[in-house]
Amino acid sequence: MRSRRQEARHAGLEEHVTPTTAGLLAWWFDPGRASAHGGLAFNEAQQRAIVNTITRHETECRQHRVAPPRHRVELVDEADRIPVLLALMLWQLLNHAAGEHNPRFTRHFVLITPDHESRARLLDALHGQPLAGTDNARDFGTAALVRLADLLVPEEHRDPVYAVMCSSACNGAAIEPTSQGDDWIVITNLHLPSRTALAHLPQLMVFVHEVHGAEAGQQDTAAQRRKRLRRIVSLHGKPCMEVVFSGPVDSAC
């Protein structure tokens, strides 16, 4: 029954997305491959989040003439959010690398969360656990991206994807890229990172982790800072794509 629901949900998507995206969706949601890897698969909520975000982005936001695209992903559990975030980053990176040179795809990312523990978990997911006795070095083999490779990354893309992740980590303290062509991933809090660097990036995708149960004032402050971020990046007509991870919608993003 679940397989038939998945097939119905994904039927016809190939006509509305890039070939790279169609290949990723087919690989991610192949029931036979999941069975071969001990049932490792996205759950229903994760699948829905991935498919809805990607199809809306690629079909409805094709030209980005009205406003920068903004997508809301309703997942409360951070354990559910991280595989979806990684999948969406891969979707962007692989389309950009495939030569899909349009504003829908980028290699520049900012991950924003106001919570210190959440930022630490994002660093662990992307770059691995800290190595004892070193200054900021991490064991990439422990990263969620590597541990979940059979779920997330097609075999032929693993080496280049791993190279991007290993070379592009920033924690918000020093985030000036050496050129616009650099891969760039920043994990930071609600205080905006370097405005000069952001304003000069060709395109940017921002992932925002809303804190479940945050007070109304904190949510309002977060929303205002995200609006400023979009204005900064969009100064020269360049889109700032935004994905907001939240619980059930109860405030505007």
Q: What is the mean pLDDT of residues 152-181?
A: 71
CA distances from 111 to 56, 131, 172, 173, 187 (A): 21, 22, 10, 13, 5
* Tokens coding 157: 């893309």
Residue 75, SS3 per DSSP: coil
* Tokens coding 248: 């059930």
**pLDDT, tens digit (0-9, with 9 covering 90-100), for 4-25:** 555 545 556 667 789 999 999 9
| Rg for the chain, CA atoms, rounded | 18
pLDDT score of 38:
80
Q: What is the mean pLDDT of residues 43-60?
A: 90
Which residues have CB under 8 Å from 197's CB, separation 6+?
175, 176, 177
CA angle 92, 95, 99 (to 5 degrees): 135
Q: What is the enclosing helix (H) or strand (E) of 208?
A: strand 204-209
Please tell me the distance from the alpha carbon of residue 220 to that of residue 218, in angstroms, as a whole number: 5
For residue 26, name the pLDDT band (cuts at 50, 70, 90). Answer: very high
**Spatial contact of 190 and 220, defined as CB atoms under 8 Å apart:** no
Which of 34-43, 75-84, 115-124, 199-208: highest mean pLDDT? 75-84
pLDDT higher than 50, residue 183:
yes
For residue 32, name the pLDDT band (cuts at 50, 70, 90). Answer: confident
Which residues have CB under 8 Å from 72's CB, separation 6+?
243, 244, 246, 249, 253
**pLDDT, tens digit (0-9, with 9 covering 90-100), for 225-251:** 667 766 666 655 566 688 999 875 544
Sign of CA dihedral 110, 112, 116, 117: negative
pLDDT higher than 50, residue 1:
no
pLDDT score of 143:
93
Q: What is the mean pLDDT of residues 147-172?
A: 85
pLDDT score of 220:
61
